[in-house]
Amino acid sequence: MDDLGPLCVGIDPHASLLGDWGLGDDVAGLREFSLRVVDAVGGRVAAVKPQAAFFERHGSAGVAVLEETIAAASAAGTLVIVDAKRGDIGSTMGAYAEAFLRDGSPLAGDALTVSPYLGFGSLAPAAERAAATGRGLFVLCLTSNPEGRQVQHARTDGVSVAASIAAHAAALNAGAAPMGSVGLVVGATIGDAVRGTGTDLEAVNGPLLAPGVGAQGAGAAELADVFGSARRQVLASSSRGVLRAGPDAAALRAAADAATQEARAALRG
C-alpha cells in the first residue's frame, strides 16, 4: 500500500453497469467487464476486490470467470480480496476456508471477507487456514447498511458487538509487525459509529477495509472523521466511483489514479 497508495478497486459487475458499458448481462459481458478492469488498474492500485455474488449469479460459468479474474489480477502483481462474506460453523466453515484460502485453489486470492455473526470463534478454521497460507481475512465489523446497527451496536455487559469483534481481531494480531493479517471491514460512511460503539480500531493492529469511498459519499473528510488515528491502517475501497468511468481503459486508469490521490491525502497526510 505504501508504494501504490491506499486504494482498493471493487469489481462489481452489476447488470446495470454492464449495460452502461454496452455489454450483455451474460457470461461474455461479465468476462469482458472484469478482465478489462484488471487490465486497466492492475499494477496501479494496491488491490482489487471482486464481489463474488455478481459472478455466482451466472452459475458455474460465472464462477469460472471469477477464477480467471483472480488469476489475472495476481499475474498483474495486484493483491486480490475476494469479497464473499463467508460465515458458518465447524466443517462447513472449514470447507469455505479450503475453497477461498487454500494454496492451489482457483478461488483463493490474497484475502477473504468473512462474517463473524455466528460468533467470532466460528471463524477459527478460516483464521487457521489463512495463517498457514500467508493470506488475510477482513472481518465484518461496522457496516454502512442501516440494518447492521441492530446487531453491531448491541451491547452485552456494556461492550458493543463491534468492539468485541475488534478485540478478537486484535488478539489474533498481537505482536505482529508492522501489523497482523486479520483486518476489519468498516464502512467509510458510518459517521460516529466507531466512537459510539467504543470500537478501538487502532488497537486492532491490522488493516481496515473501508467500502463506500467515492460514489457512495465518503471523501477525505469522512475518512478522516471515521478512522481518526487509525487512518494509516485503512485501505479505501471504491467500486462505482471508478467503474462508472469505463469502459475506456484510459478513463478507468484516470479515475483510479484520482481516487488513489484523494485516499492518500486523507489517510496518509
pLDDT tens digit sequence for 106-162: 999 999 999 999 999 999 999 999 999 999 999 999 999 999 999 999 999 999 999
Provide mean pLDDT across the span 237-265: 94
Binned at pLDDT 50, 70 and 90, residue 217 comes out as: low
**Cell 487456514 identifies what position?**
129
Confirm whether 49 is a catalytic residue: no
User: Looking at domain 1-82+213-228+238-269, which CATH architecture does it have?
Assistant: Alpha-Beta Barrel (3.20)
Q: How far apart are CA 7 and CA 225, in angstroms?
A: 18
Q: What is the DSSP letter of 230?
A: G
Beta strand pairing call for 159-160 and 155-156 = antiparallel
**Is residue 182 a contact partner of residue 140, using CB atoms and an 8 Å limit?**
no
Asked if pLDDT for residue 3 goes beyond 60, the answer is yes
Left if phi > 0, otherwise alpha if psi is -120 to 50, otherwise beta: which for 87? beta
Among 85, 240, 244, 264, the one annotated catalytic: 85
**Which pLDDT score is estimated for 222?**
79
Name the β-bridge partners of 210: 236
